[in-house]
Amino acid sequence: MPFITTVITGATSGIGRETALALAKKDHAIYMLVRNLEKGEEVKNEIISASKNKNIYVVECDLANLESVRNAADVLRSSLLGINILINNAGGIFGTREESADGHEMTFAVNHLGHFLLVQCLMPLLERGQARIINVSSEAHRYTDVKFNDLEWRSRPYSPWKAYGNAKLFNIYFTRSLATKYGTKGISSFALHPGLVNTSFGVGISGFGKFLLWLARPFMINAETGALTTIYLATAQRIDSKSGQYFKDSRPVNPSAKAVDEKGRQQLWDISMEMVGTHLV
């Protein structure tokens, strides 16, 4: 029987699917949090067939809907004694400004806020499992336009690339906050850049951004290669001393200067807690 319990978002395609498959082959019990249950069941069966590991489970979770996130956490809390690995992998970029079910800008909601709430709701299980929390960020965190009085692009022209860069910066802020706030409780956290991966990422982008993606396509890596750093962080031994750090090609690297801004990190935490507060009761 598997003795490592791993929860992962965004596991129905791309690097999330490759990560789930690789960890299933290492006998992890995998809990896939998915928006589309039909697709989730299909991928679950594919992973079971390829890994010979029957301990693969699907839980409905729409990160753009905070009630759905809370419900998914409730399902896990009623099913599990602890979580050893949580991989916040799901993400996306949106070509135009859209809003989530809760009225939040979609890039912010899917890449950051949904995962933020998920971690808060799962904290008892994460503490019990002495968990590693792995946040899939990006080198896009170096290209940002963060305004804490307008995180959701309500009063300025929307930029999909800068909104995405902001969200990936927030993944690193979140990682560092978790390491600071929960390290003494046995929890470690890591952020990573998976590489420029040839997946369906950016499918909704148009104009010059779409042209740039087209130019980059020949230089992109496949999803299996893109998953390697996540897999490393989920399986490597004796890396807890590197908690809070940002990884690329399976080794720690320095993020941007903005990513280590303590004031910004705490501002994001406080704003996020206020946004999800009613779902924590």
Assess whether pLDDT exceeds 60 at residue 174. yes
The pLDDT of residue 281 = 66
Active site residue 164: yes
Q: Is 281 part of any domain?
A: no
Mean pLDDT value of segment 197-224: 50
Q: Is 42 part of any domain?
A: yes
Out of 164, 173, 182, 246, which one is annotated catalytic?
Answer: 164
Assess whether pLDDT exceeds 90 at residue 145. yes
Q: How many domains, the chain?
A: 1
Q: Is 57 part of any domain?
A: yes
Calpha distance 197→218 (Å, rounded): 10
Residue 200: CB atoms within 10 Å = 9
The pLDDT of residue 31 = 98
The pLDDT of residue 205 = 47
8 Å CB contact between 132 and 234: yes
**Mean pLDDT for all residues in the chain:** 91
Mean pLDDT value of segment 134-156: 95
User: Which residues constitute the domain of residue 128?
Assistant: 5-276
Higher pLDDT, 197 or 185: 185
Q: Is 138 part of any domain?
A: yes
8 Å CB contact between 132 and 233: yes
CATH number at residue 80: 3.40.50.720
Strands 56-60 and 246-248: unpaired
